A and B are shown apart, each in its own frame.
Chain A
Amino acid sequence: MANEWAGPIEQIDSCRYRIPRSYKPGMRVDGIIYADSRLLPSILDDRAAEQVANVAFLPGIQSASLAMPDIHWGYGFCIGGVAATDPEQGGVISPGGVGYDINCGVRLLRTDLSAKDVKGRVPELIQALFANIPCGVGRTGKIKFNIAQQRHLLAEGSAYVVGRGFGVPADLEHTEAGGCLADADPDALTGRAQERGKGQCGTLGAGNHFIEVQIIDEIYDRQAAEIFRLQTGQVTVMIHSGSRGLGYQVCDDSIKALQKAPAKYGIDLPDRQLICAPVNSPEGQRYLSAMRAAANYAWANRQVLMYLVRQTFAEFFGQPWAKLGLELIYDVAHNIAKLETYEVEGRKKLLCVHRKGATRSLGPGHPEIPACYRTIGQPVIIPGDMGRNSYLLVGQETAIQQSFGSTCHGAGRLMSRGAAIRSARGRNIQKELAEKGITAIAQGRRGLDEEQPAAYKDVNLVVDIVHKAGLSKKVARMRPLGVIKG
């Protein structure tokens, strides 16, 4: 399916490239890709750039159709895309601009453990996590929520599960939006979506979802690191998962329900998967209500997963998790649409910001940042691949001015899953990682092959761009010690 970009691409500065709106009739704004000369060739190698141009067709889109440096080819929207629309100017909401895995996101936990505390014990610890946390196709856990409880969970998000003992109030403070979007309506979900969510809260899923035990190998910003109480050699834990089958079904149902909306509202789209409706329409509002409920489900899911991580650590090290310092640093969504206020051409506007494989990145002082982090900026968590690094950054003011408070979300895939499996033939990825001191366990046989480090861009290059562009600032770099995957 590969197809190299043949359209115009203009360099704006050392971190940005432009696809001018003159490229295709129907584009309402330019496309802007955050990249440098090292990353651009791989970005132009598939159809991601075309997708950036296609998103520029959306009614009400403001400033530009943006792509972060981890951009790659998705369906409809590219992955790594940011699009803000103005509801007052007929701006639309598109389920494809959020993705099937609504509120897929990451959370990062600190610990008081250091390298010497886990030395020689990582394989055993990873086995324990793998045994306690349901992951992979068709796995459910011991923790179950019935349909009535699930309705609470959809309306209340993380707070509902914290109230049932799966965490502490500080966890909510350290979660984007407090782990709950207001105006979520469980009744906006179909029975099918409710059914698909049953038994999946507290499960990791498959694909690129993971739980990783890491060690901090570099600190870039001492002042911020002190506030996070992080230092070199300290153990951290990262959790990557989303809204599971419930979210997939909400997106699927919404796309089907919106089939007639473009014709009804006179919207011309270059790709069916961009299907959308005005934010200020019954169809748009219904999707938003359902999406918010699915987002709340995802936060509850990551909260329960974190509970299982804490429980596993407590058993493994024979101490309560609080004694081990397993505190949540922050939880960020990277597949979501939210109404947020930004200044466009000198005017403050309430915009519908789509982040599809992009992370919110609010600069210091923003009222939505928890008080304890407000002076340094919102924590931004960027997972890399399982062989290289992950990062903790903080949001910067430039992101507010340039990218609707957004930054990248990961390394971004480089290889298709098929190509990754072919390149893994005759190799043993688990052994290769073990030789680098990384314990990796996956439920599916192909999991590690598909997710091997070479399948991803180098996260260090991706993070360099957002740091240089001023979208977010590097605080700490982690390297993996062990990982479990679906």
Chain B
Amino acid sequence: MQLGYRILDHTADVGLEARGSDLAELFSNAARGMFAIIGCPDTIRPSKELLVKADADNLENLLVNWLSELLYLSATQGILFCRFDIAQIDQQHISAKALGEPIDQSRHELYTEIKAVTYHDLKVVKADQIWVARVLFDV
């Protein structure tokens, strides 16, 4: 899986599987995958950066909180993100720089709105030295 994520079929919504050799790569790929559902990543430039933090009591919840925080920032500030530099991550905390740019309807190719990150079929596991995450979005 070269891209580090793939989009999974679901009748009403959209699933995502992300992979990474460590947690930082996993969380970065999951975020890239989520924004690739919203719009075409090739059209987004990393011209603006925001500091993003999330906490949770376990890794699965941390993934949901991280993605939800990015979605919230994107929705309220009108920014599309394309790059995520993870500064620090453990089982309960993440802090990162999210890079992207304000939505430009004339240049960005937008696909759909993600309403939320759900807990349905949520998984974060390590298998054969590779971290794998599965998450379902309400679109």
**Pairwise interchain contact B136-A46, C-beta atoms closer than 8 A:** no
- For A443, list chain B residues within 8 Å (CB): 110
- For A419, list chain B residues within 8 Å (CB): 9
Provide the B106-139 mask, 1 if CB < 8 A to any CB of A, else 0. Answer: 0001111101111111100000000000001011
**Minimum Cβ distance to chain A for residue B38 (Å):** 6
CB closest chain-A residue, reference B13: A75
**Pairwise interchain contact B113-A446, C-beta atoms closer than 8 A:** no
A460 contacts partner chain B, Cβ-Cβ < 8 Å: no
Ordered nearest first, which 3 A-B pairs have the shortest CB separation? A75-B120, A416-B9, A206-B113
Provide the B65-87 mask, 1 if CB < 8 A to any CB of A, else 0. Answer: 10010001001101000000000
**Pairwise interchain contact A252-B105, C-beta atoms closer than 8 A:** no
CB pairs A–B below 8 angstroms (19 shown):
A1-B15, A2-B9, A72-B11, A74-B120, A75-B138, A76-B119, A101-B138, A136-B110, A137-B112, A137-B113, A138-B110, A207-B112, A248-B116, A249-B72, A252-B68, A256-B65, A413-B12, A417-B13, A443-B110
B52 contacts partner chain A, Cβ-Cβ < 8 Å: no
**Minimum Cβ distance to chain A for residue B18 (Å):** 15
Give the size category of A's interface with B: 35 or more
B29-62 at interface with A (beta carbon < 8 Å): 38-39, 61
- For B61, list chain A residues within 8 Å (CB): 259
In whole angstroms, what is the CA distance A164 to B26 when docked?
49
| Number of A-B residue pairs with CB-CB distance less than 8 Å in the complex they form | 116
A436 contacts partner chain B, Cβ-Cβ < 8 Å: no
- For A1, list chain B residues within 8 Å (CB): 8-10, 15, 121
**Pairwise interchain contact B116-A272, C-beta atoms closer than 8 A:** no
A195 contacts partner chain B, Cβ-Cβ < 8 Å: yes
A418 contacts partner chain B, Cβ-Cβ < 8 Å: yes
**Pairwise interchain contact A417-B76, C-beta atoms closer than 8 A:** no
A284-330 at interface with B (beta carbon < 8 Å): none
Provide the B1-31 mask, 1 if CB < 8 A to any CB of A, else 0. Answer: 0000001111111110000000000000000
A409-443 at interface with B (beta carbon < 8 Å): 413-419, 443
**Minimum Cβ distance to chain B for residue A171 (Å):** 27
**Pairwise interchain contact B9-A79, C-beta atoms closer than 8 A:** no
In whole angstroms, what is the CA distance A255 to B7 when docked?
24
In whole angstroms, what is the CA distance A413 to B139 when docked?
13
In whole angstroms, what is the CA distance A195 to B15 when docked?
27
A157 contacts partner chain B, Cβ-Cβ < 8 Å: no
B89 contacts partner chain A, Cβ-Cβ < 8 Å: no
Taking a contact as CB atoms closer than 8 A, the residue among B14, B15, B112, B121 that contacts A444 in the complex is B112
Which residues of B come within 8 Å of A, CB atoms? 7-15, 38-39, 61, 65, 68, 72, 75-76, 78, 103, 105, 109-113, 115-122, 136, 138-139
Taking a contact as CB atoms closer than 8 A, the residue among A72, A245, A249 that contacts B12 in the complex is A72
Interface of chain A: mostly helix, strand, loop or mixed:
loop
Contacts A139-B105, A271-B120, A416-B10 given; 16 further ones with Cβ under 8 A? A1-B121, A72-B11, A75-B13, A136-B110, A137-B38, A138-B105, A198-B76, A205-B113, A206-B112, A245-B76, A248-B115, A249-B72, A252-B68, A446-B111, A446-B112, A450-B112
**Pairwise interchain contact B115-A417, C-beta atoms closer than 8 A:** no
A55 contacts partner chain B, Cβ-Cβ < 8 Å: no
In whole angstroms, what is the CA distance A40 to B116 when docked?
29
Given A137-B103, A446-B111, A486-B113, decide whether A74 and B8 contact each other with a Cβ distance below 8 A.
no
Which residues of A come within 8 Å of B, CB atoms? 1-2, 46, 48, 72-76, 79, 99-101, 136-139, 192, 195-196, 198, 205-207, 245, 248-249, 251-252, 255-256, 259, 271-273, 275, 413-419, 443-447, 450, 486
- For A417, list chain B residues within 8 Å (CB): 9, 13-14, 112, 139
Given A75-B136, A75-B138, A444-B111, decide whether A100 and B116 contact each other with a Cβ distance below 8 A.
yes
CB closest chain-A residue, reference B40: A445
In whole angstroms, what is the CA distance A272 to B122 when docked?
9
**Minimum Cβ distance to chain B for residue A13 (Å):** 26
**Pairwise interchain contact B103-A445, C-beta atoms closer than 8 A:** no
- For A275, list chain B residues within 8 Å (CB): 119
**Pairwise interchain contact A418-B14, C-beta atoms closer than 8 A:** yes
In whole angstroms, what is the CA distance A271 to B61 when docked?
14
In whole angstroms, what is the CA distance A252 to B112 when docked?
19
**Minimum Cβ distance to chain A for residue B31 (Å):** 17
CB closest chain-A residue, reference B74: A138
**Pairwise interchain contact B121-A73, C-beta atoms closer than 8 A:** no
CB closest chain-B residue, reference A260: B57
In whole angstroms, what is the CA distance A5 to B56 when docked?
34
**Minimum Cβ distance to chain B for residue A394 (Å):** 27
Most chain A CB within a 10 A radius of its CB, from B8, B61, B115: B115
**Minimum Cβ distance to chain A for residue B63 (Å):** 13
In whole angstroms, what is the CA distance A256 to B11 when docked?
25
CB closest chain-A residue, reference B113: A206
**Pairwise interchain contact A272-B103, C-beta atoms closer than 8 A:** no
**Pairwise interchain contact B122-A207, C-beta atoms closer than 8 A:** no
**Minimum Cβ distance to chain A for residue B116 (Å):** 5
**Minimum Cβ distance to chain A for residue B138 (Å):** 5
In whole angstroms, what is the CA distance A75 to B61 when docked?
16
In whole angstroms, what is the CA distance A417 to B120 when docked?
18
Taking a contact as CB atoms closer than 8 A, the residue among B12, B109, B115 that contacts A73 in the complex is B12
CB closest chain-A residue, reference B118: A75
CB closest chain-B residue, reference A421: B111
CB closest chain-A residue, reference B112: A206
- For B105, list chain A residues within 8 Å (CB): 136, 138-139
In whole angstroms, what is the CA distance A137 to B115 when docked?
11
CB closest chain-A residue, reference B138: A100
**Pairwise interchain contact A73-B103, C-beta atoms closer than 8 A:** no
**Minimum Cβ distance to chain A for residue B64 (Å):** 8
- For B111, list chain A residues within 8 Å (CB): 137, 444-447
